[in-house]
A and B are shown apart, each in its own frame.
Chain A
């Protein structure tokens, strides 16, 4: 009896472990991408945006590299019937039209991004070992997100 119980639990538990291990691995690859590319350094981001200052065009190459693998990759993946670990694709389908409702939000994001040189991904890579300012950044970012979630709900 205990055997059958173990067996009925075995598959979901291993799938859960796989989900966590792969999620962690993808996060590590993404985080290393931010570090290697220089996105994790706020000065590098600001210098990309500050065309009339000490302009550093490196970040155009980050976007270029990501999209160069992204375009063919997404095209191939979206031909699949389902993802490997979940039942169905949950990718946005409203992509063909400009959605005016999101543009003020995008503008507010661009303003904050330029002020600080930090977007949400690098906020996470900066979290460890950069003192109270980095922790405060994540805290205030989460507060902004919470307000946004409440407004949208």
Chain B
């Protein structure tokens, strides 16, 4: 089991940055900043009335951000994986499929939807959080936290 330290202030500040980026997306492009929606619409079939220009730039920005952080602060970004490679691949497929079938993920439903007081997003968020807590708990008791 990997211990991580409780970081309320850093997490709050990071959360504010995430909220600000969601607001800027709505202000400039009139769209929801949902990563699963943005990334999945880069794939075929082509989405009608969807401008891909800013979304490609957005995705590049997200990918580059940790490198910029590393360059600016001189410290690496901590990333500790919690599953074996095969479980990572299975989980990744569910993350992709589920976020598309569920019309959104943590950013689209969890941040933007809840901020807009959307009942639809609230029901999706309660569902994915509930299943996630349950899954993590099952992994804890059946596999000691690692599969």
What is A's interface to B at a CB cutoff of 8 Å? 16, 19-44, 46-47, 49-54, 56-59, 61-71, 73-74, 77-78, 80, 82-86, 88-92, 94-99, 102-121, 123-130, 133-134, 136-153
Contacts and interface: CB of A to CB of B under 8 A. Distances in A.
- Interface residues of chain A: helix, strand, loop or mixed (majority): helix
Contacts of B22: 30, 66, 70, 73
Given A95-B113, A143-B96, A148-B97, A110 B39 contact: no
Which of B1, B88, B113, B118 has most chain A Cβ within 10 Å?
Answer: B88
Given A50-B139, A65-B12, A119-B106, A112 B61 contact: no
Contacts, number: 516
A15 to B, nearest CB: 10
Interface residues of B, number: 120
Contacts of B32: 91-92
Nearest to B39: A120
Nearest to B113: A95
Given A118-B91, A143-B93, A133 B26 contact: no
Interface of B: 1-33, 35-36, 39-40, 43-45, 49, 51, 53-69, 77-83, 85, 87-107, 109-121, 123-125, 127-137, 139-141, 145, 147
